[in-house]
Chains A and B, each alone.
Chain A
Amino acid sequence: MASTALDFLPAPLRSLRLKTKQQELLLRVSALALIYVLAFAVRLFSVLRYESMIHEFDPYFNYRTTLFLSENGFSEFWNWFDSESWYPLGRVVGGTLFPGLMVTAALLHRLLRALSLAVHIREVCVLTAPFFAANTTLVAYAFGREIWDSGAGLVAAALIAIVPGYISRSVAGSYDNEGVAIFALLLTFYLFVRAVNTGSLAWALASAFGYFYMVSAWGGYVFIINLVPLYVLVLLVTGRYSQRLYVAYNCMYVLGMLLAMQIRFVGFQHVQSGEHMAAMGVFFLLQVFFFLDWVKYLLNDARLFKSFLRITLTCVITVGTLALVIGTASGYISPWTGRFYSLLDPTYAKDHIPIIASVSEHQPTAWSSFMFDFHILLFLFPAGLYFCFKRLSDATIFIVMYGLTSMYFAGVMVRLILVAAPAVCLISAIAASATIKNLTTLIRTKSKSPQVTSGKTTGSKAAAKGAVDQSLPFQHNAAIALLLGAFYLLSRYAIHCTWVTSEAYSSPSIVLAARGHNGGRVIFDDYREAYYWLRQNTPPDAKIMSWWDYGYQITAMGNRTVIVDNNTWNNTHIATVGRAMSSYEDEAYEIMQSLDVNYVLVVFGGVTGYSSDDINKFLWMVRIGGGVFPVIKEPDYLVNGEYRVDKGASPKMLNCLMYKLCYYRFGELTTEYGKPPGYDRVRGVEIGNKDIKLEYLEEAYTTSNWIVRIYKVKPPKNRS
């Protein structure tokens, strides 16, 4: 039933009237194109509000390495030893990073240059994450179509384009591994599910390449190498073993493992680390299954096969357990590393690895975070699970497992909401698409005439028949009402996502903004001010000591050597810095002399009310320092278990290096009307030690809003 409005067009244009299939294709393609553009555009808030710059801390390291790669070529990059960080140890950069992101950005940059578009590499870096987010929507569409149908694929693409859980780590300027890794993750899963569905070696090879890209991009590839074997195990246990599964998993595992070992940072972990052993175990299990299947087919005799089965199973189980026990006991198979073990046992990090526990992104997730990051997807998720269970197939089992495992991990660590976001979007898309499809089918069916049911009803059902005829009009109205409700919910979702992106996830963190008392916007650009001061006013071989948060930014923007940075690979070195910050000035001076420190940098928020400053992080410095050097004891800095900086604070707290450096000359400053001088606006108290004298350091620079303070370490006094 083509649209009659088109009949009024003149004759030549009428030939353009499309058939239904073509109309549908046009709708789908234009919807996908709009979703692609939307996914890119919604991530551009901070570029429009501030400027095109790299955000946060980790992206600065990625930017510095990408710069190095684009200037010096891949061979230099792969063998780079960086002596400007972790002084005096240095860092083997080539072997301790995941190169996927840098190589991708450098390739994009080279491609643009080849097309004669002279773009600076920083612009490419800033916009890499939104570009890959747009690509993720296309993969989500294909994946949705594979699992359910193309309608669900479209809804999945639309949902994932704006879901805040994904936007938080892929905003323009957030040049971090996750921006590319989520694309690689979804691509690998899609290719693998396609391989399982078709049993084709070509798709399995493609999924191995997808896995290789994921391994090169992010340490979270461990999720893939454990989820896929778990999925195969579930299929085996539920009796869905098929030869397509054998072909898909084997090809992906062997080729994927070999490809993954090309990344130096991963190395031989696929055969030696406990986290990767599940994949190997399932590999051998699949061989056993295949062998048994084949023998069963050959024998054609149930009794003989049963005895054969018994023999094989006992052999396999004994050999398997023996290998596992020997491997773990002899230490050849290394146990789960702390980073991933703390996912299985959330209390582990707090007691044993304070560095992991101190990162705010590693804290357990609150319900408000879930609601903030997922909105209506939270209740569409169980609905989608129901639909998946109704239509169980290899593909829906996969998405259910991905959804459940990723939601569990998202509950353990806030950062992993990112990994759960694609699964939640896909499952919710199934729910939304199936519901809307059912509702629209209800609306479109014309009320059936009684002859449809006449053949089946008996006399006692005549009354029911009349009732069915009467309920149809109610069904019609109810369906329209529900459909309107569904559209309302989806529009609220879009509004919420845009608001969240604009308010919460678009701040560069390196440039702070606040509202002045007259409503105008005040920008604090203190960080960059301090780094550029360092760059221009210190000797090129100066060494800067600061807490590890700022290491990457100092090396990237200040171009100076740092003692510790965000890589946090050497806990003792960080603990040394923590001990220096928590000791009295003379002890700290000895430590700084041993590390050749020339300048000390601290971050202080007391004047502006900026709460992520070093005084708030100080207790973590104490804990980490105290973890390695027992001379630093946390109770020394607390009063009755309470952390204070005013007159009632402990004497060790009032005289430690960090306190002195942060509050030097602060006692003379009036920060707020009606409050005494030296009023700390973050802690909300007047500081206890106002008359600070520094003996071994002198103040070198304090930024205009007192946020970053730099001190020069004085050389030892000449003996008389």
Chain B
Amino acid sequence: MPRATSDAKLLIQSLTKAYAATPTNLKIIDLYVICAVATALMQVAYMGLVGSFPFNSFLSGVLSCIGTAVLAVCLRIQVNKDNKEFKDLPPERAFADFILCNLVLHLVMMNFLG
């Protein structure tokens, strides 16, 4: 289906072009998110190899990665200047919230590691 492939190529091209235009701070956050998700996937692959005992350690590891990725996405939303809903939120406040939530996440995770 030539139309589909040309569509796909056009899609990828326009996506890469538009993404290149995003500001650097957002790109850094995106990189962080990708790293966190990659770490989570590696942990899941490792669990597939050696089994899931002890389950609480596996869960705490995966959830800390997913959790920090999700929190970083929330930070990205709040810091993004094109976002009309969060216009009044100073980026320092957004970052402080991000740090606080990460702190709580990792403290609980440390308790759960066992």
**Do they bind each other?**
yes
Interface size on B, residues (CB 8 A): 38
Task: Give chain B residues whose Cβ lies under 8 Å from the Cβ of A472.
Answer: none
Q: Which of A200, A243, A257, A307 contacts B11 (CB 8 A)?
A: A307
B77 sits at the interface (CB 8 A):
yes
For residue A308, CB closer than 8 A to chain B, the reply is: yes
* A181 on the B face (CB < 8 A): no
| B83 and A243 contact, CB distance less than 8 A | yes
| B67 engages A258 (CB within 8 Å) | yes
- Interfacial residues of chain A within 249-273, with CB under 8 A of chain B in the complex: 250-251, 254-255, 257-259, 261-262, 268, 271
- Comparing A164-172, A224-232, A297-305, A443-451, the segment that makes contact with chain B is A297-305
Q: Does B19 contact A (CB under 8 A)?
A: yes
| 0 or 1 for each of B65-105: is its CB under 8 Å from A? (1 = yes) | 01100110111011000110110010000100110110011
B100 & A299 in contact (Cβ 8 Å cutoff) = no
Contact between B7 and A307 (Cβ–Cβ < 8 Å)?
yes
Measured in the bound complex, the distance between the Cα atoms of B75 and A202 in whole Å is: 12
21 cross-chain CB contacts under 8 A: A200-B89, A201-B74, A201-B97, A201-B100, A205-B101, A243-B83, A246-B74, A246-B77, A250-B70, A251-B74, A254-B105, A258-B63, A258-B109, A261-B59, A268-B59, A297-B82, A299-B18, A301-B14, A304-B14, A307-B11, A308-B11
User: In the complex the two chains form, is B112's CB within 8 Å of A262's CB?
Assistant: yes
A246 to B63, CA, bound (A): 18
Chain B residues whose CB sits within 8 angstroms of the CB of A620 once the complex forms = none
Would you call A25 an interface residue if the criterion is a C-beta within 8 Å of the partner chain's C-beta atoms?
no
Nearest B residue to A254 via CB reads B67
| B47 at interface by CB-CB < 8 Å | no
Q: Known contacts A205-B104, A254-B66, A298-B18; decide if A247 and B77 are in contact (CB<8 Å).
A: yes
- For B70, what are the chain A residues with a Cβ–Cβ distance below 8 Å? 250-251, 254
Interchain CB contact under 8 A, B78 and A247? yes
Q: Say yes or no: is B15 at the interface (Cβ < 8 Å to chain A).
A: yes
Min CB distance, B73 to chain A, in Å?
7
User: How far apart are the CA atoms of A251 and B105 in the complex, in Å?
Assistant: 10
Could you tell me which B residues sit within 8 Å of A by CB distance? 4, 7, 10-11, 14-15, 18-19, 55-56, 59-60, 63, 66-67, 70-71, 73-75, 77-78, 82-83, 85-86, 89, 94, 97-98, 100-101, 104-105, 108-109, 111-112
Q: Does A370 contact B (CB under 8 A)?
A: no
| Chain A residue at minimum C-beta to C-beta distance from B68 | A254
Residues of A within 8 A of B55 (CB): 268
Q: Is A705 an interface residue (CB 8 A)?
A: no
Name the one of B4, B67, B73 contacting A290, with C-beta atoms under 8 angstroms.
B73
Query: Nearest CB to that of A246 among chain B residues?
Result: B77
- Which residues does chain A contribute within 8 Å of B112, judged by CB atoms? 258, 261-262
Contact B108–A262 (Cβ < 8 Å)? yes
The answer to whether A242 has its CB under 8 Å from any CB of chain B is: yes
Q: What chain B residues lie within 8 Å of A300 (beta carbons)?
A: 18
CB distance from A235 to the nearest CB of B (A): 15
**Which residues from chain B contact A242 at a C-beta distance below 8 Å?**
85
Give chain A nearest CB distance to B61 CB in angstroms: 11
15 extra interface residue pairs, beta carbon distance < 8 Å, beyond A259-B108, A268-B59, A304-B7: A200-B89, A201-B101, A202-B97, A242-B85, A243-B83, A247-B77, A251-B71, A251-B74, A254-B66, A254-B67, A258-B63, A261-B56, A262-B108, A271-B59, A308-B11
Asked whether A92 is an interface residue with its Cβ less than 8 Å from the other chain, the reply is no
Residues of B with C-beta under 8 A to A297: 82
What's the least CB distance linking A259 to chain B, in Å? 6
What residues on A are CB-neighbors of B109 within 8 Å?
Answer: 258
Q: Is the Cβ of A295 less than 8 Å from the Cβ of B98?
A: no
CB 8 Å contact bits of A24-35 with B (1 = contact, 0 = none): 000000000000
B110 to chain A, nearest CB (A): 11
A339 to B86, CA, bound (A): 43
Interface centre among A200, A201, A244, A298 (most CB of B within 10 A): A201
Knowing A251-B101, A261-B59, A299-B18, say if A199 contacts B67 (CB, 8 Å): no
Q: Is the CB of A200 within 8 A of B97?
A: yes
Q: Which residue of B lies closest to A205 (CB)?
A: B101
Smallest CB-CB A-B distances: 7 pairs:
A201-B97, A298-B18, A254-B67, A247-B74, A250-B70, A243-B77, A258-B108
